[in-house]
Amino acid sequence: MAITRWDPFRDVLALQSRLNSLFEDFTRGQGEQDALTTAAFVPPVDIYEDEHKVVLKLEVPGIKQEELDIRVENNTLTVRGERKFEKEEKQENFHRIERRYGSFYRAFTVPSTVDTESVQASYEDGVLKIEMQKKAESKPKQIKVNVGSSPKPIEAGKSEKPAA
């Protein structure tokens, strides 16, 4: 049996944790429907790049193309939008509302290698795709390496042996 040192504050902290969870459970039931339908949400984003461009893909299903605002200012790309909760005139008996509604705002720092004049956006199947072309000077360049002091490259399969 292990000897445990008595800590009088451990019991106080456990009691505080229990009380906090009790109050959270109580307040969670109050106005939960309103909180779910009007809370702002953050759409998930994938960002990747290749040698020619940087691409962002945001999941924004249910948002009309006209309700999206995309801007590039001071090396910052901002995307704003709003998904509205449409209430119909007839009474709906919702059992659960899990989709988030409200406005969103995402901001991304644009690398200095990107040409901010060539940003293009497309919207298809609920996915907003933003493509930013890289500047020509930032694209990778192939550099040929010469072996030794000879300016001509060595051909494969041939060896340079000095004549005896």
- 81 within a domain of the structure (yes/no): yes
Domain that holds residue 84: 40-138
Q: How far apart are CA 26 and CA 82, in angstroms?
A: 30
Residue 100: phi, psi to the nearest 5?
Answer: -90, 140
The answer to whether residue 52 sits within a structural domain is: yes
Q: What is the model's pTM? A: 0.58
| Assigned domain for 124 exists | yes
Instruction: Give bridge partners of residue 123 from the DSSP assignment.
Output: 128
Alpha-carbon distance of 63 to 68, in angstroms, equals: 8
Question: Which residues are within 8 A (CB) of 100 and not within 5 positions of it... i.e. 6 or more apart?
Answer: 36, 39, 40, 41, 83
Inside any domain, residue 53: yes
Higher-pLDDT residue of 157 and 14 is 14
SS3 for 124? strand
Q: Is residue 144 part of a domain?
A: no
CATH code, domain with 99 = 2.60.40.790
5 lies in a domain?
Answer: no
- What is the structure's pLDDT at 119? 92
Residue 121 domain flag: yes
Structurally, the chain folds into a number of domains equal to: 1
pLDDT digits (tens, 9 = 90+) for 34-64: 444 444 678 899 999 988 899 999 999 888 8
Contact in structure between 119 and 105 (CB atoms under 8 Å): no
pLDDT at site 156: 55
Residue 33 resides in a domain:
no
